Structure 1
């Protein structure tokens, strides 16, 4: 199984899906990451504002940031190698990496409310 790491730009919260104007791409990525984690995939997402040590301590990421600046974010690594810069992986790219269908990848999480 492949290890996927997503290094996000600085956002207000871990997923970036809060505030007055929510980026639909961030909602898609939050659902995808949740679904992959639920299925046991090794996927982690780091936010520059909340996890600066993860950026500083990762040789590849810190080097890219020093060379190209923060506009290079988001960066996605697969097994430690740069898979994509500046934009998130598409659903099709994630399907190719994981073998999942688009429906499995984008299933919206269901939350049960307790009475």
Structure 2
């Protein structure tokens, strides 16, 4: 199974729902990462604001930040190799890397509700 690591730019949270306007791309990638984890894919996201040590300990990310600045983020690694810079991977790219259909990556969770009525 592939190992995917995503290094996010500095932000207050990774969901995209904080602040005055929700970022649909952050919402999409949050859902996709959640679904990848449900499929037992080894996937991690690191936020520059809350997890700066991850950026310092990864020599390649550290060097990209020095050479290209924070505009290089987000950066995605698959099995330790940079596969995308300056943008989040598309569903199709993730499908290609993991073998999991793009439709499954974006599937919304199904919630089953049971309504009990008083007799």
- TM-score normalised by length of structure 2: 0.89
1:64-100, Cα deviation, whole Å (9 max, x unpaired): 1011000000000011110000001111101111111
1: distance between equivalents of 2:18 and 2:111?
18
Contact 1:14–1:50 (8 Å) recurs in 2:
no
Superposition RMSD on alpha carbons, in Å?
A: 1.5
Matched, 1:74 2:77: no
Contact 1:4–1:79 (8 Å) recurs in 2:
yes
Gaps of 5+ in 2: 114-119
1: distance between equivalents of 2:99 and 2:7?
22
**Greater Rg, structure 1 or structure 2?**
2
Number of equivalenced pairs: 113
Q: CA offset at residue 43 of structure 1?
A: 0.3
Q: CA offset at residue 111 of structure 1?
A: 6.3
Could you tell me which residue of structure 2 aligns to residue 51 of structure 1? Answer: 51
Contact 2:14–2:30 (8 Å) recurs in 1:
no
2: distance between equivalents of 1:58 and 1:105?
27
Gaps of 5+ in 1: none
Contact 2:35–2:105 (8 Å) recurs in 1:
yes
Contact 2:16–2:24 (8 Å) recurs in 1:
no
Structure 1 moving runs of 4+ over 4 Å: 110-113
- TM-score normalised by length of structure 1: 0.92
Contact 2:3–2:78 (8 Å) recurs in 1:
yes
1: distance between equivalents of 2:56 and 2:18?
26
Alignment of 1:1-115 (within 5 A): 1-110=1-110
2: distance between equivalents of 1:30 and 1:110?
17
